[in-house]
Structure 1
Amino acid sequence: MSATRRRRTGAPSVLGALAAFTASALALAGCGAPVGHRADGHAGAPGRADGHTGAPDRGHCPRLQRPVATADADWQPVAKALGRTGALRENVVFGISLPRRDLKVTSRGVDIGTSLALNGSADFARYCDGTMLMGDLVLTEDELPKATEALQEAGIEQTALHKHLPEQSPPIWWTHFHAMGDAVTLARKLKTVLEVSGDPIAVPPPASTPPIDLDTDGIDETLGRKGIAEGRTYKFFLGRAETVTSHGHVLPAPIGVDTVIKFQALGEEQAAVTGDIVMTAGEVQNVIRILHRGGFEIVELHNHMLDDQPRLFYVHYWGVGDGVELAEGLRPALDATNLAPPAPAS
């Protein structure tokens, strides 16, 4: 990385990307029964995740559906069914974190923190024709076949399988999933899958963590956005500017179509950084070149979904060094993609 710290001012936060459609989404809340991709794997057939088919009036739902605005209270039955707590993001995505605190993983000599790269998720969004579930699971090699079988038995689609880290001990896999149906039924089905992947919920978070020994102000200035502190990790979630759809549904960025940057403090303002940059096909080679020239290791290049439009690719990267200098190396790669402009500071 460059030894000279450059301070860049960026465009403003990316979270405003959903504001434009929130009002119109509210109008869809009263739409009819589910008609779409079923959680039993039958694409396009009318039905619910619990297998009860019906004869809904397809005219009640628009051809291109936007997520419906919701409140925390709407999702408490889902949290109860999964036995976990969650958080509502952008008023449309209810996200439940699935941390693997039971795993001890190292990569390139770094002890990997749970919030850096051992945290799966289950994200729910409501649409006119039902609820979408998307997310990913962090699995050991022994757990992977069992989780695959459980997902198939639950009728939840597996949409991607890959690794997020370079040389790792023990080997860890990530599998992405997707389903449509009744929200509580989806949560119950997913719980049967989680039961074969250890018992991470039984491992409590640490009572306290040391402060982040990073120049977070410098990282923010360099990336042009404000990060979020979580324990020893400083992270960013950056949505794209264009509308992304899957199965005729507009996908909000927090459901899993955002660029992710995570810095784990290593002491003396040094950090390990990892995450993935979301790209269209035309952006891929330029981003890889920029990352390679910046000294980052390219870990994986893959898709997360089966029919997203535009087709999106995700490049996972790895780097260790001064936190601000890592941010300086990442900034040109971010600028080479069609990121949504940051929202003005409040």
Structure 2
Amino acid sequence: MKHVLTSLVLAGALLSTSARAAEIDWKKVDAALGKTAAVSGEVHRYGLPRSDLHVTLDGVTIKPALTLGGWVAFAPMHDAAMVMGDLVLLETEVTPVMTKLLDGGLDVTAIHNHVLRASPATFHMHIGGHGDPEKMAASIRAALSASKTPFDPPATTAGPAPAIDLDTAKIDAAMAAKGTVNGGVYQFGIPRRDPVKEGGMQVTTAMGGANAINFQPTGNGKAAITGDFLVTGDEVNPLIRQLRTGDIEVTAIHSHMLNEEPRLFFIHFWANDDAVKLARGIRAALDKTAVAQR
């Protein structure tokens, strides 16, 4: 009987969430933010890439999809919506954007670097909030007016996207996962074995709840790689030791959220070398953590 009651409660919660999702006018949220969302289940995610910036690192011109791809994502929560995001900012933009976010009732949960030695230096500001999604979207848009984050849709070119200059089949085999091409970058989103929750809500891949691994071709089978691992405290040093064994640079260790369960740390990295060799090194590091089964 207990199991039946539990199932009924869970089913009721799911139906309630679905009902709330149906009540949100997402077109108004789109209009308030000035962007059109990519929808994954009940999550509405908006890309905010810094395509206006020309950032170089160790002679590599960084594509926005490699590490300049800011975003915000909304999901129905209780009687309103939850928002999480990662804004890419120049040093001079950090304080003005933060001030406007706080004035708009949003929370700032982290500020940090992703890579080292980049010119110009960029910083990532993680945000969160709970409330009316249209109002939160308007606050985010107003805050980003203190930066040069572009809101115009990207220019489109006719025909299919060009093939990426990497042996993706060998990279997939080394990673034991299937990647996807996005903006000239080969990307992987590899979830942890157990779900991550923030405020009682599951943090899905669309809301930043997966290990993100990105490969940007640099010629002759090489790739620049960066991204972030999601790890518990006891996994931090086994992971970074494995990365260093693979000659992959560790560039940041920090948090993204404030009240997640379990407590997680995000580890960023950088290397530019043979892409398949790097994929093997990344997979060996992933295997030091509680990732989903292959």
Report the TM-score when normalising by structure 1: 0.77
For the pair 1:148 / 2:84, whether they are aligned, the reply is no
Q: Which amino acid aligns with 2:14?
A: L
Amino acid at match of 2:251: V
Q: Distance in 2 between matches of 1:160 and 1:30?
A: 30
Structure 1 stretch 74-83 or stretch 278-287: which is displaced more? 74-83
Q: Which residue of 2 aligns with 1:316?
A: 268
- Greater strand content: 2
The higher relative CO (CA closer than 8 Å, separation ≥ 6) is in 1
Q: Does 1:233 align with 2:221?
A: no
Partner of 1:274: 226
* 1:207 counterpart (147, 157, 160): 157
Structure 2 CA distance for partners of 1:205 and 1:322, relative to 1, 3 Å: farther
What residue in structure 2 maps to residue 84 of structure 1? 35
For 2:86, the equivalent position in structure 1 comes to 136
The whole-number CA distance in structure 1 between the counterparts of 2:275 and 2:28 is 41
For 2:3, the equivalent position in structure 1 comes to none
Relative to structure 1, is the Cα distance of residues 88 and 267 closer, same or farther in structure 2, using a 3 angstrom cutoff? same
SS at match of 2:16: coil
Structure 1's unaligned 5+ residue stretches are 1-21, 32-67
Identical-pair percentage: 39
Correspondence for 1:28 among 10, 16, 40:
16
Matched, 1:181 2:131: yes
Give yes or no for contact 1:210–1:231 (8 Å, CA) kept in 2: no
Distance 1:199 1:259, change over 3 A: closer
Q: Once the 2 structures are TM-superposed, how far is the Cα of residue 254 of structure 1 from its aligned partner?
A: 2.0
Give the counterpart letter for 1:267 in structure 2.
Answer: G
8 Å CA contact 2:63–2:183 kept in 1: the answer is no
1:222 aligns with 174
Contact preservation (8 Å) 1:211, 1:231:
no
User: CA separation of 1:220/1:130 partners in 2, compared to 1, >3 Å: closer, same or farther?
Assistant: same
Which whole-Å deviations, capped at 9, do the CAs of 1:249-308 have from their partners, x for residues lacking one? 232232112110000011222110000010001111100000011000110000001111
Q: How many residues align?
A: 282
Structure 2 unaligned regions, length at least 5: 1-9
Corresponding residue of 2:200: 248
Q: 1:128 Cα shift? A: 2.4
Deviations 1:67-106 (A, max 9, x none): x7x58x95322112111111112x0211100011110001
TM-score normalised per structure 2: 0.90
Cα offset for 1:129? 3.1
In 2: Cα distance, 1:306 partner to 1:241 partner: 21
Q: For the aligned residues, what is the CA RMSD? A: 2.1
The Cα offsets for residues 42-83 of structure 1, whole Å up to 9 and x where unpaired, read as xxxxxxxxxxxxxxxxxxxxxxxxxx7x58x95322112111
